[in-house]
Structure 1
Amino acid sequence: ASSMIRRYIDLGNPLNAAALNAIGTEYVCLLNVTELNMIDSNSLNLASLNPSACSQLTKDILYAKAKRAFSDRHSSPAYYKLIEPYLGGAPAVDLRALSKDNVNMQVSTFAKLRRDSLMSLTLSDVQGLLGMNLRDLAGWQNTSPIREWVQRQKQSELDKLHVGLTGGTQEGYINIVTPRFQRTYYVRTSDCCALNVDFFALMPPLFPLAPSSAALGTVATALHLLPALLSTSLMMSVLS
């Protein structure tokens, strides 16, 4: 099927609504950037696609096209239903705009948002997006990327939602998420002057936070120098 689609395109045929509906979302996901850019935005008005399972780049491209296609209905209640299948490619600024429109987003849709966009949303943004579906968020709190979003919020603020969310940052702590292993550490800064390579290598999960801004600055510097410290430690162990 993929070769047939490419043959169709190579013959100069347009990727219009009829072609997109015939191809279906599964094969639209296989189109490369050049082919995706051949799609006329207006054709999405008549096409029935749901690119949520496509690559992030494909979702980004299709979202931009869908936004243009439905721009004349942006102030209409129908806009959200039209744009919803494409929201996996939406930037945070567009999601914040939607949060003011009482869209009552399903949590299943929320979980498929672009990761960087979701992570930048505030509690207020999420409340606005989910609306009456906010109560369903607790059932998804152990699912990535919602789990990571929850971990970034203060638990005291999550408690104010009264929907049973747990796993947020406790008062008096900061969290450091290590992207490679997706582990979260809660770090104390009161003993910052004694930080060394062994501390970071064996860092336990919980350390109370001292309120000193000077201490925070020292820890930030230590974290910045961590790669160099680790390299030095490794070299010394080899030489010894």
Structure 2
Amino acid sequence: ASAMIKRYIGLGNALNVTALNAIGMKYVCLLNANELNVIDSNSLKLASLNLSACSQLAKDILYAKAKRAFSDQPYLPAYYGLIEPYLGGAPGADLRGLSKGNVNMKVSTLAKLRTDSLMSLTPSEVQGLLGMNLGDLEKWQNKSPIREWVQRQKQSELDKLHVGLTGGTQEGYMNIVIPKFQPPSSAPLGTVAMTLHLLPALLISFLMMSVLS
């Protein structure tokens, strides 16, 4: 099937909505970057796609196309409903924009975001994204990648969400490093011991030379 798709594209055919629905996401996710870029952005308005099996690169490319396709939506809730399946490729800046729009993102969607994008979000931005679903975040705090996100946040900021999140970084603590004891001399202990052993003989020799002179 993958070879047939490549041949179809190689003949100059566009990957429009009819082609995408016929191919299905099982095979769309197998396309490389060049082939994905052939997809007509407007075809995403009618295609029914599930990107869960796609690589991160595929998600990034398809998100950019979906963003262009749905940019004509005048209302953010309508835009979010269309763009939501593609958010696995969204950069942090776009997510911060959505956090101001009362989109009520599901925590399951939050967990599928790009890792770097999720980690860049502050607790207040996550609160803005989740909206009425914020209370569900506590149920996910021990699951990756939500667990890693929690661990990167200040506990004082997590407490402001009032949903029972724990495991953030504590403030007011200092890491005290106790230096190892260093001997007064950098010479090996054996050399130091030998020098101390010979010291009396050296002093006697010095005194005799002083008397004879």
**Same fold flag (TM > 0.5):** yes
Larger radius of gyration: 2
Out of 157, 173, 190, the position equivalent to 2:176 is 190
Q: Does 1:2 align with 2:27?
A: no
Mapped partners of 1:105, 1:8: distance in 2: 37
Residue 100 (structure 2) aligns with:
100
Structure 2 SS opposite 1:142: coil
How far 1:8 moved relative to its partner? 1.6
Distance 1:79 1:164 in 2: 31
Q: Deviations over 1:137-158 (max 9, x none)?
A: 1111111111111001112221
CA contact (8 A) 2:99 2:129 kept: yes
Give 1:2's aligned amino acid.
S
User: 1:90-119: per-residue Cα shift (whole Å, max 9, x none)?
Assistant: 011100000011000000000000000100
CA distance in 2, matches of 1:151, 1:119: 10
Question: Structure 2-normalised TM-score?
Answer: 0.80
Separation (CA, whole Å) in 2 of partners of 1:137 and 1:160? 13
Partners of 1:20 and 1:48 in 2: CA distance: 8
Q: Which residue of 2 aligns with 1:209?
A: none
Cα deviation, residue 11, structure 1: 2.2
Which residue is 2:78 aligned to?
A: 78
Query: Does the 8 Å contact 1:88/1:113 carry over to 2?
Result: yes
| Cα distance between partner residues in 2 of 1:66 and 1:52 | 15
Indicate the larger mover: 6-15 or 32-41: 6-15
1:119 aligns with 2:119: yes
Counterpart of 1:31 in structure 2 is: 31
**Would you identify which runs of 4 or more consecutive aligned residues in structure 1 move more than 4 Å?**
none
Partner Cα separation in structure 2 for residue 103 and residue 53 of structure 1? 25
- Paired residue for 1:184? none
User: Sequence identity of aligned pairs in percent?
Assistant: 78
Once the two structures are TM-superposed, the CA of residue 76 in structure 1 deviates from its matched residue by 4.2
Alignment match, 2:167 = 167
**Equivalence for 2:66:** 66
Corresponding residue number in structure 2 for 1:236: none
Q: CA RMSD in A?
A: 1.5
Query: How big is each residue's C-alpha offset from its partner over 1:51-70, in whole Å with a ceiling of 9 and x where there is no partner?
Result: 13311110000000000000
State yes or no: 1:128 paired with 2:128. Answer: yes
8 A Cα contact 2:76 2:101, kept in partner: no
Q: Which residue of 2 aligns with 1:56?
A: 56
Displacement after TM superposition at 1:36 (Å) = 0.4
Aligned length: 180
2:12 is paired with a residue whose SS is: coil
Which ranges in structure 1 are unaligned for 5 or more consecutive residues? 174-187, 196-240
Alpha-carbon distance in structure 2 between the residues aligned to 1:76 and 1:191: 51
The normalised TM-score by structure 1 is 0.72
Letter in 1 for 2:11: L
Deviation at 1:162, TM superposition (A): 1.7
CA contact (8 A) 1:52 1:86 kept: no
Given that residues 70 and 83 in structure 2 are in contact (C-alpha distance below 8 angstroms), is that contact kept between their aligned partners in structure 1? yes
* Bigger share in strand: 1
